[in-house]
Amino acid sequence: MRSQGQVRFVKLSSKLQMSLAGGAAAALLLWGGSMGVMAALQYQASSELESLDQRAVQVANAEDRVRAYRDDIGKVASDLEERQDFIEKIVDMLPPDMVEDAATETSEDEEAAETVAKVSAILPEAAGLARIEAKQLAFVDRLTHYAERRANRAEEGMRRLGLDPRRMLAAAQTAQGGPLEQLSTSRDGTVDPRFEKLGLTLSRMDALERGLQSVPQFMPADVSHISSGFGYRRDPFTGGGAMHKGLDFRGKTGTPIHAAAEGKVSFAGRRSGYGRVIEITHGNGLMTRYAHMSAFKAKRGQMVKAGDIIGAIGSSGRSTGPHLHFEVRINNRAVNPRPFLENAPHVLEDVREDQPVRIRERDD
C-alpha cells in the first residue's frame, strides 16, 4: 500500500486467506440461492397466468354456457350472484379513481355477445341473466387489462431506477399470513379463471406500485449543500483513504431533515460513529439512514410519508461540523443515494401521468 510516499506491506496468513475464500463462497451460494428463489417464483407466477388463460378460453365457450343455462338456470342465477359479490368485494379494496378509469373504458367480448344472442334465442326467459353475465365479464376484463397496464408501467419505472422488479415481487410474497377468506364465483366454491386472473393481476400491480413508492424520492436536505459524495474519499479525521457510504448535506444546526420516502421508523437512537440516527424501513429490502442529528422529530414505530420532518441537522457522533449523513441500503448493502433522489421523482411523475385515455360510452 503506497501512502504519502511510503510503501507498506500487508501479509495475509493462509488461515485468513481460507476464511476470506470461505466467506466469499458462502456469499456466492447465498446470492445464487436467492436468485433461484426469485426465478422459481417468477416461473410459478407466469405458469399460473398462462394456465388461467387456457382455462378461461374453455369456460368462455358460448356453446358450453348455453348448455349450462339450459341444464340448470337456477344454478346460473346463483352463480351470477356469487360473481357479483366477488366483484363488489374486489371493488371495495380498490381506490375509486382506478375503478372509475377501468369502468369508463370500452371493450368488446365477441364470445359474451354470442352467448347472449344464443341464450336469448333458445331460452328467452334467461336473456336478462345472460346480459348481466356479459356485463360482469366485460367489467372484469377491463379491470384486468387496466391493472396489467399499471403493473407494467411500475415495472418499467423500477428498471429505469436500476431496480429488479422480480426482487420486489419476491419480497412481497414473504412474511404473509392471516385467516383464510376464500373468494368464490359459484355456489360450489370454485372460482372462474377470469376472476382469478383479475385477483392475481391486481396483487402484482399492488406489489409493484407499493415497491415503487418505497423508493427514496424526496431530498432529505438542501441538495445544493452536498459537501461529500458517495464513494472513496480522504477521511476527515485520519487523512487516509476511506469508503463513504452516503451523502453529506451540510447545514445549520436545527435545519429540518425530511424522510426520503414513506415507511416505518425502525430505529431512533445512537449508533457508534453516527451519533443520533434515525433509520426508516421502506419494505422490499430498502432502508434509509439519517445520521449526526441534533434532535429527533420521529420515534421508533412511527409511520412517515415522503417529505415528513423526522429530525434536525446536528454534529453528533463522528463529525467535524453540523451536517446530515444520508444513506440508502438495499438488503443492508449501501448504494449511492444520488441516482434515486435525482431520478425517482421524474420516474414516478411519468408513471402517474401515463394514464389511459378515458373513453366514455354514449348514453344513447
Name the CATH superfamily housing domain 223-351.
Glucose Permease (Domain IIA) (2.70.70.10)
- Given a cut of 60, whether residue 270 has pLDDT beyond it is yes
Categorize the per-residue pLDDT at 302 as very low, low, confident or very high, splitting at 50, 70 and 90. very high
Among 8-12, 39-43, 276-280, 321-325, whose mean pLDDT is lowest? Answer: 39-43
Helical ranges in the chain per DSSP H? 14-59, 62-71, 73-92, 96-103, 110-122, 127-160, 165-172, 193-213, 338-353
308 backbone φψ class: left, alpha, beta (φ>0; ψ -120 to 50): beta
The pLDDT value recorded for residue 325 is 94
Cell numbers placing 158: 423500477
Smallest CA-to-CA distance from 276 within 296, 256, 302, 262 is with 296
- Given a cut of 60, whether residue 33 has pLDDT beyond it is no
Mean pLDDT of 207-217: 84
Between CA 112 and CA 110 the distance in angstroms is 5
Among 71-80, 92-101, 258-267, whose mean pLDDT is lowest? Answer: 92-101
Domain boundaries, the chain: 44-173+185-213, 223-351
Among 35-39, 205-209, 300-304, whose mean pLDDT is lowest? Answer: 35-39
Phi, psi (degrees; rounded to nearest 5) at 359: -115, 110
Cell numbers placing 308: 415528513
In this prediction the pTM is 0.63
> 313-359 pLDDT, tens per residue?
999 988 888 999 999 998 888 988 888 888 887 777 777 665 443 32
- Given a cut of 50, whether residue 61 has pLDDT beyond it is yes
Mean pLDDT of 215-230: 83
